[in-house]
Amino acid sequence: MAEHVRLLNNDEVASLVDIESCFPPLEAAFRDLGHGDAASVRRHDVLSSVPQFNAINSFKSMSGVVPSMDAACLRVDSDLLRTPAVGGSSRREKLTSSQEEAVRIGKENGLLMLYQISTGELLAILTDGEVQRLRVGVTSALAAKYLANSNCSNVGFLGTGYQAETQFQALAVLLPQMSARVFSPNAVHLHEFVAKMSRITGCRVEAASSAAEAVESAEILVSATNSLHRTIMPEWIRPGMHINCIKKQEVDLEVLAKCDLLVVGSTGDTAHVIVGELRDKKLNETAPGWWKEPDHAWESFPFLADVIAGEHEGRTNSDQVTCYIGHGTGIQFAAIAMLAYRRAVENDVGYLVPSARFLQPILQR
């Protein structure tokens, strides 16, 4: 029996795992999922109005189990969201204390509860920020590994925000010789991102003056934005291209119609539970209620887990246009959280709380 529950914050997680170390456990977890040897419960978002901040509270949860890693993990998160219009396009932004003094939370406000399957014990509680970025970035790179042409090197990259850095760095691990053109409507962020990614990855990285210029000669097109509207234009799609998107809003049916193979990340899209006035109201007239938008029949498309497991065919020729949309899955959290936990035990990292604090000696009658 574990005598303690280990608490790990983002800085501690970052000291224990990096992008490269996440590839093996994530690939293994997806393979298990494809073979039916792991499971994930779709994400649920409960949305409530927060009038004092003109915002929405999104209370979300998702979970996954990977028996081969003896890991079960629940992720819970509570965000305040707004949908401001930027440059004529609406974006989904998290409201934090850095934006408004009265707001008490930071950008990442979630927790991961890691359990050991074989004993049922709670092993650790982790803040989810670093794990969240790592799981999205590395999974997108795995999608490119299985769906892009093997000799790709030219990348068009849209976005320079929170998720974009790990998307870029993970792809650079997969394609160390890659050359990338990057675009963001925020010129300051764009040039900071280009300089940082050039330094960290050693890849050739250039700033583009427009999204169209960024994707001009791209063999892989990555969209890692917070836009609630299409970021990829159908006229940009060329034979042999692979597209990575971190969420469904970055493409539309016109773009998807040009794809020969569409692969999604999970077995179901987010389920939205609407509370009170949000059922009838929109926060921003330029951004229709994104929680109301009808979903495509995502379950009819192959899942990345099935492609990695060899249960579904991936790219079959060099001219195919392939696309990956990164619906999240709970196994990603289970795999990386267990990796971080095991390294934390080995290196004596984290804050220990006696396990007895979490046990409930209730008699069964």
Q: Which tens digits make up the pLDDT trace of 125-174?
A: 999 999 999 999 999 999 999 999 988 999 999 999 888 999 999 999 99
* Average pLDDT for 296-307: 82
Per-residue pLDDT at 216: 92
| pLDDT, position 363 | 67
Confidence of residue 285 (pLDDT cuts 50, 70, 90): very low
Query: If you average pLDDT over residues 95-105, what whole number do you get?
Result: 76
For 90-98, what is the mean pLDDT?
Answer: 74
Rounded Cα distance, 19 and 23, in Å? 7
Average pLDDT value over all residues in the chain: 88
Residue 8: which of 343, 358, 329, 331 has the closest Cα?
Answer: 343
4-131+330-358 and 141-269+286-325 agree in CATH topology: no
In this predicted structure, the answer to whether residue 278 has a pLDDT above a threshold of 60 is: yes
CATH class of 4-131+330-358: alpha beta
Name, in order, each residue with C-beta under 8 angstroms of 270's C-beta and a sequence gap of 6 or more: 42, 43, 44, 45, 60, 327
Residue 35 Cα distances to 27, 29, 38, 225, angstroms: 12, 10, 8, 32
What does DSSP say about strands 122-127 and 220-223: parallel, antiparallel, or unpaired? unpaired
Q: What pLDDT, on the 0 to 100 scale, is given for residue 256?
A: 87
Domain boundaries, the chain: 4-131+330-358, 141-269+286-325
Q: What sign does the dihedral 78-64-15-245 (CA atoms) show?
A: negative
Count CA within 13 A, CB hemisphere, residue 99: 13
pLDDT at residue 286 is higher than 50: no
141-269+286-325 adopts what CATH topology?
A: Rossmann fold (3.40.50)
State the residue for tokens 């498309």: 301
Q: With H, G, I as helix, E, B as strand and everything else as coil, classify residue 186.
A: coil
Helix, strand and coil in the chain, % to nearest 5:
35, 30, 40
pLDDT at position 30? 96
Cβ–Cβ under 8 Å, residues 344 and 12:
yes
Does residue 21 have a pLDDT over 70? yes
Percentage of the residues of the chain whose pLDDT score is greater than 90: 63
Rg (CA), the chain: 21
CA gap 159, 241 in Å, rounded: 19
Answer positive or negative: Cα dihedral of 189, 196, 225, 185. positive
Residue 287 has pLDDT above 50, yes or no: no
- Contact yes or no for 36/2 (Cβ under 8 A): no
Q: Compute the average pLDDT of residues 19-40.
A: 97
pLDDT higher than 50, residue 282 = no
Query: Residue 107 corresponds to which tokens in the numbers above?
Result: 């950008």
Q: Is the pTM of this model over 0.75?
A: yes
Of the two residues 103 and 56, the one the predictor is more confident about is 56
255 three-class SS: helix
Model confidence pLDDT, tens digit, residues 261-273: 999 887 556 787 8
User: Distance between CA 176 and CA 181 in Å, rounded?
Assistant: 15
